[in-house]
Every structure is written in C-alpha cells, then in structure tokens.
Structure 1
Amino acid sequence: MSIKGILHNPAAGGVLLLSCALAAVFMASVPSLQWFDRIWDIPASVNLGNFSLEMSLREWINDALMAVFFFLAGLEIKREMVAGRLSSVKKSTLPVMAALGGMLFPALIYAAFNSGNPETAGGWGIPMATDIAFAVGVLSVLGDRVPAGVKIFLMTLAVVDDLGAIVVLALFYPVHPVDWMYFGFMTFILAVLVVMNIRNVRRRSVYLLLGLVLWYFTYMSGIHATVAGVLLAMTIPSGMSVQDADGNMRKLIDPRVLGLESRLSPLVNLLIVPLFALANAGVAFRPEALAGGMSPVVPGIFFGLLLGKPAGIFLFSFLSIKSGLAVLPAGVKWSHVAAVGMLGGIGFTMSIFIDNLSFADQMITDTGKLAILVTSVIAMVLGLVSMAFACKKQINH
C-alpha cells in the first residue's frame, strides 16, 4: 500500500489509536514509567502582544486540537446533509432512526444503574457515542466481503451519532457556568459567519481566522471549546448547484471543501486522535482503580455500550422499516443490522471525552475510562465476529 493509501486508510487510524491507548495504560500502570502521564500537565502558553492564554498540554489537546477533530466531523455531517446520504428524507430516515435508538437506549441503561447516585448520574452521555474510526476500521478488515450498503449504513449512522453526541456535549456538559458576556461575543461571531455563508463568501482564510476568534470566545464562555469546530464547519459554504444533462439543477459538494476534508483527515486520524488517547487513556491497572469496578458507572457503561447500542440500533431500524418509514438498503440483511449495532458499541474517543467532563471525582473518571476501554475492545471483537458471520451467511445463500 502506498503512503497516500495508508494516510487515508481508516484501519490505520484505528490501529494507531488503539496502540496509543494501550501504551498510555501500560505506562500509567508501570511505576517507573508514570512520569510520562505528568508530561501532559506541563503548562504551555500562547502570547500575542497583550494577549496570553495558558493551558496544560493535556488541555491544549482536549480543547484546541480536538476542536479540529470536531471541525472535520462537522464538515462530514454537512457534506451528508447537503448532497449525501442525509440530503433527503428517504435517504436519511433509517440511519437517523437507528442512531436515535443507539443513543437513547444506552443513556437509559446507564441512568437505570446510576439514577440514585448523584456522584455518577451525570455520566449518562458516556455510552451514547460510536467511535467511527474504530467501527469503520473493523469493517475494512473484512474488505470486499462487506456489502457496500452495510458500509454506507454504518458510516451514515455514525455521522448522525456524532451530531447527537455534539449536541449533548454542548447542552449538558459545560466546562463551568456560562459566562454570558463571552457567550454574547461567541454568538456575534457566529452570526457574522452565518451572514458570510448567506452572502456566499468563499474565502476560507477569513472563515478560519474568525473560527479562531469563535474558538476563544466559546472557550471563555464555559461551553466546551470543541463545539466551535462544529459551528465553524456548519457555516463554511460547501454546496454548489450545477445543471445536469437534462437541464435539472443538482446540489453538489464544492470540490474545495472535499479537498479540505481530505487534507484534514490524516492529520486528525493519525495525529490528533492518537495524541488524545495518549493524553487521556492513561489509567493504571492498580487495586484502587480496579476497586472502582464496584461503582455503578461500570455496569452503566458496560451494558449501555454492549447491550443498549445494539438493541437500540436494531429495534429502531426494525420499527422504522416495518412502519414503512424506511427500507433496508440493497444487499443489507437483518444480520448485518445486528452486526452494525454491535460495532456501534465501540465508544472510545467520544466516550472518553465525555467521561472527562462527567465526574468531579478523578477515581470515578478513571473507573469510567477503564470500563470504556474494556467494553470497546469487547464490542470490537463481537462486532467483527458477527459481521464476518453475517457476510459468510449471505455468501452461502
């Protein structure tokens, strides 16, 4: 495989992400290597004239670099909404319904285990998200045996899932109480970006410059700064109308936006997300951490991802099809839908992200991370086996 092929291969990003997560856990568990985790607490600052912003390296990764991750996610969501698989009701009903079920059931299961515990009840958003890099990476292992319709269904579902997780993050997981002055500044910059979009201003440098300002005001407002990445992506003009051979106008994605996605994808998948794993997945397998297995956080996350995700995705898909709201894509069988549901249980990146914001007690946070890591690996294996079985069953028929 060429270097270009590796850079754009979802499996490569998934393997690197898992390797970094396991490396972080290993170094946190070995006493002589625990200095590594302290590196992320080193302060770093940006100074421009009278302006100064200082955060730890971990905070720069979580608040700044991950904003680029969310920016790319926003571009992918908008692409699908403008001219892709979410551009019409007919195309979007099945993945939207499946994603809703896959978010609702895990949250309810987590809440059932934690509703009586005020210290852990806030983690209901942890099992709601699917890690698209891992899920698509697992599919790529099976290659051409997986029908194209299954890949499209999973990717579209994951895009909707990302959108839902972003909304939950923005509304229910503020970093600190909202500073309404900075929220007003943020809203003003966002309004300027929207007006630029309406007036079809296409100079990306202007959007990116205002995006930096938007990020700062979002950070200062108390809303998680990464939300600025999604807001910026949604304001960048990405659609263009062209006339086809029959004289009808069709909506297409601006090639320049596709080019931006293509350039950002390797940066995000092979650098930013693995860095996030290195900085945040370092949970030691020590007795005090493992003792957290008695916490209701563990069954909430475990059963939320391994039971809630597949059950919600399958049930809502079944109901939407049986009610006539949607149809199964060509080549997709119910066994494929069940396997996609299991792959949806791979939480990882977004789950760890929300785990970091959910609890005041660091021990509970670490317990949540361990539960996410173990459960995601189990979901990965079960998803791979169930998808391989579904594809083999289809070939035999």
Structure 2
Amino acid sequence: MKKLLGGLLLVGATLAALVFENTALRETYQSLLQAKLGVGAGAWSLEKPALLWINDGLMAVFFLLIALEIKHEAKAGQLRQLSQVLLPALAAVGGIAVPALIYLGVTRGTPGAESGWAIPSATDIAFSLAVLGMFGSRVPRSLTTFLMTLAVFDDIAAILIIALFYSAKLNLGALALAGLFTGALVLLNRGGVRRLWPYLAVGLMLWVAVLKSGIHATIAGVIVGLLIPYGAVGDGAVGSSERSPVKTLEHALHPWVMLGVLPIFAFANAGVSFRGVSLEGLATPTALGVGLGLAVGKVVGIFPICWLALRRGWVPKLEGAGTGGLLGVSLLAGIGFTMSIFIGSLAFGANPAHLESMRVGVIAGSLLSALVGAGLLTFALPRGKEARDKGAAPDGLGNGGGDRAGAAPA
C-alpha cells in the first residue's frame, strides 16, 4: 500500500509540475524553485536556490537509502557474491555505450550536436523504480535489485561523465576534503563503530565538500550508505536486522523518501515547458538521437547481453524473474527524464535550438520506455500466489525482507 501511495504521489507531483510550468502559474512555480534558502553557523553560511537543495540535498538522502538497500543485498540478499554484481554491471556498460552510439550515429554531421552524446545514457533512478514499484508485490526482489543496482551504476557513471566532460572547473581543495571525509568514514567502519550518528555527522560534512567541489553532491549519499556498517550494535547476532545500523536507518528513511523526497523531487524537476514544442521537433536529429537512444538504445544495450549471460550461466539466475520481466525492466531503464534533461542542459546550455530538441527527445523516449515497459510487465510479472512463491519484493523501494543469518558485519 505504501509503495502504491508513493507511486501515486509521484505521478500527481509530476502532473502538477507540468500544469504549473505550462499555465499562468509558471511564474509562481519558477519563483518557488529559485527562492534562496540558506543555513549558517557563525561566519560560515551556505545559500542556494530551493531547486539545488532538492536536487543535491534531498536526493542525496534518496541515494543514501538506495545505497543502504544495495548494502543489504550485498550482505544478505541478491548481491552476496561478486558474480551476482556482474549482471547489473554488464547491463550498465551496455546501457551507457549503445544509447551513446545510436545518438552519435543519428546526429552525425549535425553541428554542435556531438556534445550531447551522454544524454540518452542516463537512467532516472527515481522514476524508473517508481514505475516498477507500482506493480507492488508482483515484482520479484531480484528484478528490483537488478534495476536498482543498474540505475546506481548508471547514475554514478553519469556523475563521472558530468565531472569529466561538462564541469567547467573542479574545486580541488574541496575534492581533497571530500577524500579526507571519505577516509574518516572508512576508519569508522574498520574501527568497528556501530552507532549511526558519527557516520551521519561526517556524511554531512562530506556532502558539503562534494557540493563545493563541483561534482553532483548525491554521490555523497552513495558513499555514506555503502560505508555504514551492516553488523549489529554490541555483542548481539551479527546479522540481526533489528540491530543492524543499515537496517535501522533504512527503515527510518523509507517512508520519508517514498512519501516526501520523491514527490518533491518530481514536482521540482518535471516542469518541462511545452511552449514551442511541436511534432516537427521530433524530426530533428538531436530529438531523434535522444529519443531513440533512450527508447531503443537502452533495451538493446541491456537485454541481449544480460539474456546471453544468464543463458550461458556466466552469472546467477534472477530468482523468480522470467525473460519478460528482464525485458520489461530493461525498457524501464530507458526512462532518462530528469537526469537526461540535466545532462542536456549542461551540454546545450548555450544552444536554444538543441536544448528544445533535446527536451522533446527526452520526453518522448522516456514516456515510450515507461509505457512499453509497464505494458510488458503487466503481462510478464507473476500474480497472486505465484508472485509470493517466486519471492516477490515486499512493500518497499527494494527489499525489506528479513536478513539471512551469517551476514558479514561490515
């Protein structure tokens, strides 16, 4: 029920953003997003627009939750063996390379278009997981974990692409500080510290350092989540979910993220203007390259290599998931939406024509991926008792099931 409510709130927030942006409410909407908000202590202060606090602040909390869920799967779930990580890693490589190649092929010879090659390589993790989550308990946990891990790999790659190709200047001093704070988190973990507050305190400082460095600050959430220890506090059973710092924080964050962070993120980022957008806009090389890269490139880059790896036995099977489920999730990975628009704004910020075409392509490609993927999953996913027998994920973003005994402590 919580998952369905979260999905409905996300859809409602998306529709509200589109209405605000494309009606007389646009000025109010933009004023809200650009309103300056700040925090400070003594001589130090940090003031940024509300949109940045949402995208770099609240979404860092979302990525923290995703990292915690991946940590759980690595210790007691679907990613316990290195071979189990190989499948989403292969999917990420194919899902980045093929869309980029399709885009470059379609836009070849178009002046200024080549800088947008990374746009269709991104996956909007929030929206893709939300669409999958709307199928509730029918989704096998293995599929949720696969999409979640693939999307994290995708978004980390996107963050690195932004840093390497689209960042005008990196603050090396802030990067060095971020490295020191990451080292401090490693020492806390290796030193056996199991209380949450030291990790959260250092994590907050890490977030500020990454923000100041010029790299997308959501990466701080991933780092903190992966370095919070899995083992129990004190001398209790090491794998106890009730005493695990990872599970404690995951359970605390989950409702806030599902019912608060994600709808707010959608409202702030889904306000795409349709002014000047026409069907003719779909015929431009940039729009076609982006749209085909997302709707075709993602599934072509992900599904065949994963199907072959599973068929040949190179990687463990996805428990409870069939070929249709894998194909449907591969399609959902083509929902680039806000991440693709963000990369596109960096690539084409000084070129209004390419910028407009990019938005048309992102909307068309993401919408097509979502509709076709969801339509396929409607028929491919197990139902009722069959879903329960196949290990469908309980109500939650990813897992949420009990831990298995004998999990490693860190």
The structure 2 residue matched to 1:45, chosen from 38, 42, 46, is 38
| 1:7-156 to 2 correspondences below 5 Å | 9=3, 11-31=4-24, 33-114=26-107, 116=109, 119-139=112-132, 141-142=134-135, 146=138, 151-156=140-145
In structure 2, the partner of 1:171 is: 160
1:129-163 deviations in whole A, cap 9, x for unaligned? 4445544544455556x4x6xx2332122222233
Residue in structure 2 matching 1:194, options 172, 186, 200: 186
CA contact (8 A) 1:99 1:158 kept: no
Q: 1:239 to 1:56 in 2, by over 3 A?
A: same
Q: Secondary structure at the match of 1:54?
A: strand
For 2:319 and 2:247, the matched residues in 1 are separated by 26
How much has 1:115 moved relative to structure 2?
5.5
Matched, 1:361 2:346: no
Judged with a 3 Å threshold, the aligned counterparts in structure 2 of structure 1 residues 214 and 117 are, in CA distance, closer, same or farther, namely farther
Cα deviation, residue 191, structure 1: 0.9
**Which position in structure 2 is the counterpart of 1:216?**
208
Q: CA 1:250–1:275 in 2, change beyond 3 Å: closer, same or farther?
A: closer
- Give the equivalent residue in structure 2 for 1:246: none
Q: What is the Cα-based RMSD across aligned positions, in Å?
A: 3.2
Residue 223 (structure 2) aligned to one of 213, 217, 231: 231
Q: Secondary structure at the match of 2:54?
A: helix
Measure, in 2, the Cα distance between the counterparts of 1:191 and 1:32: 47
Q: Number of paired residues? A: 379
CA contact (8 A) 1:73 1:162 kept: no
Alignment correspondent of 1:203: 195
Give the stretch that moved more between structures: 288-297 or 57-66: 288-297
User: Structure 1, residues 39-77: CA drift from partner, whole Å, max 9, x if none?
Assistant: 211222212110111111112212222211222222222
Aligned to 1:256: 245
Structure 2 alignment gaps of length 5 or more: 387-410
Q: Does 1:298 align with 2:287?
A: yes
Residues 302-355 of structure 1: CA deviation (Å, up to 9, x unaligned): 112211122222201222134330354454332332222223223334434444
Aligned-partner Cα distance in 2 for 1:124–1:388: 32
C-alpha separation in 1, matches of 2:180 and 2:319: 45
1:204-231 Cα offsets, whole Å, 9 max, x none, are 1111111111111111111222211112
Q: Aligned AA for 2:312?
A: S
Q: Which residue of 1 aligns with 2:336?
A: 347
1:326 equivalent to 2:315? Answer yes
Q: Which moved more, 1:215-224 or 1:351-360?
A: 351-360
Residues 1:265 and 1:369: Cα distance change in structure 2 (over 3 Å): farther
Looking at secondary structure, tell me which structure has more helix per residue: 1
Q: Does 1:376 align with 2:369?
A: no
**TM-score, length of structure 1 as denominator length:** 0.83
% of aligned pairs identical?
Answer: 35
1:386 and 2:379 correspond: no
